[in-house]
Structure 1
């Protein structure tokens, strides 16, 4: 095909660097895809496969995400093995009832995303990530298409095993609401044995059972039972967790009171990450649970007569935090917040700061 008048190599290079696909460049220049590609090679222009194939990437993503271990990568990997799918095309997908988890996965993977909503025949939402490189990295970790019955337990560095297992529990774990029992289900015996060996290495009371589904297919459950063992497991797997967990499973595993009383209610708001980190540090040091420290803080400040005189702040590091509170304390706090023209998260943050001062933690003194 002859080149159209006035179309220089540099003009085509500029078009290419702006992300113009070869198909459109061919119409503009009159040259074939092969001729345009040769111009790029001749001028040492780094090639982008999606552009010269005429199929630019629909959604950007960090293609190095599964190359380097981190607690967040390990959590996403555990979630993907249990609730993900390697597609025949160069893409992977996550399926979840909880869209918050899908949005968090997309955020962690730096993915520009579109979540497909449930339909009549599919009860879950789906996040799809398009990347041949990510698909190849998962294959390097032993995760292929049609993996449910064949996937093995991947080689996860010891430091990242807790976060990986947390992802597995978030995907296919079940926690009993009435007693200290948790199990993870898998159709792969190899994967189930890997979970069992991990639990044994943590010196947990655990066992593996084999069962048949209603369609007569074999599946396996790995169990952890008993108050001491479940609390020990929760201490291990949630030690690095922030938003990256299923909140109600965390609460059922970590908080004995969550199971035993019906007077607790869930509440979600945005709270300073720095304050939450301080609460978690103090909870670990004192052997308490973070939400009960916040509850103590709320009780203290609700008894304080001059709340309106205390200084409010507007931290820039707020993250979503969902947990349970005593119903009466929470309702009382909402009333006080309304009277003071405060938001609930402002009252919670204020109460945490004052509780730390009141208890002279980290050398702070009450004003």
Structure 2
């Protein structure tokens, strides 16, 4: 449910009639929500089948969401949920990223062997962006932030932070998530990483074929000893 809260915070809507709805271009995401709330027949096409939606009407759920900070016309003003327990924050972030985030694999450098990964969150809300940056800081994740127009973007690029973020977002194989984003992330995690530092010039030569190292005594007229 914390994951669903993140989806509602990003792609959801609360109207004045206590109806909560989620709309997305990713049918898999909407079907995942349908399974979670036991409404497998609740998935509906929208905008000429370009989007999919699901919703429910519940005064109790709507009131609870309002107490957490959800409101109508939320895009530019919504903040981090009020008093969200720390144990649920990572699942909430997984929902945010499944809704308004991206997981991108790319090769940008000449001769690059494996792809780079970048995880980003885009939001029109400065308050929500600040909440996400604070969460990253509390969990030791290095993040970059820039604003273009009214859109705030947070990028996570460093390998150590990406690996730590994966552990936070996906603590098990069956957590609810948008499968296509997790599959990219899992694929990057499975790529062996080269050791840090610059390789030695003879690192590709088998040890048995390398010439013996010689030790000089330091004087020009004395032979170097093997």
TM class, shorter-length:
0.7 to 0.9
- Taking the aligned partners of 1:109 and 1:185, their CA distance within structure 2 comes to 27
Q: Please say which of residues 100-109 and 167-176 is displaced more in the overlay.
A: 100-109
- Taking the aligned partners of 1:187 and 1:257, their CA distance within structure 2 comes to 30
Q: Does 1:229 align with 2:161?
A: yes
Aligned pairs (5 A) from 1:48-87 = 73-87=1-15
Which secondary structure state, in structure 2, belongs to the residue aligned with residue 176 of structure 1? strand
Pick the aligned partner of 1:95 from 6, 10, 23: 23
Q: How many residues align?
A: 182
**Offset, 1:149:** 0.8
| Equivalent residue number for residue 159 of structure 1 | 87
Query: Higher Cα Rg: structure 1 or 2?
Result: 1
CA contact (8 A) 1:231 1:254 kept: no
- Taking the aligned partners of 1:165 and 1:176, their CA distance within structure 2 comes to 17
Distance 1:175 1:104, change over 3 A: closer
- Taking the aligned partners of 1:102 and 1:198, their CA distance within structure 2 comes to 26
Distance 1:86 1:211, change over 3 A: same
Pick the aligned partner of 2:55 from 128, 135, 140: 128
| Equivalent residue number for residue 255 of structure 1 | 187
- Taking the aligned partners of 2:173 and 2:14, their CA distance within structure 1 comes to 26
TM-score normalized with structure 2 length: 0.74
| Equivalent residue number for residue 143 of structure 2 | 206
Which secondary structure state, in structure 2, belongs to the residue aligned with residue 117 of structure 1? strand
What RMSD over aligned residues (CA atoms) do the two structures have, in Å? 2.1
Aligned pairs (5 A) from 1:22-37 = none
Which stretches in structure 1 are left out of the alignment for 5+ residues?
A: 1-72, 213-217, 261-367
Higher RCO (Cα < 8 Å, 6 or more apart): 2
Pick the aligned partner of 1:106 from 29, 34, 37: 34
Q: Does 1:189 align with 2:126?
A: yes
Q: Does 1:245 align with 2:172?
A: no
Higher helix share: 1
TM-score normalized with structure 1 length: 0.47
**Offset, 1:113:** 4.4
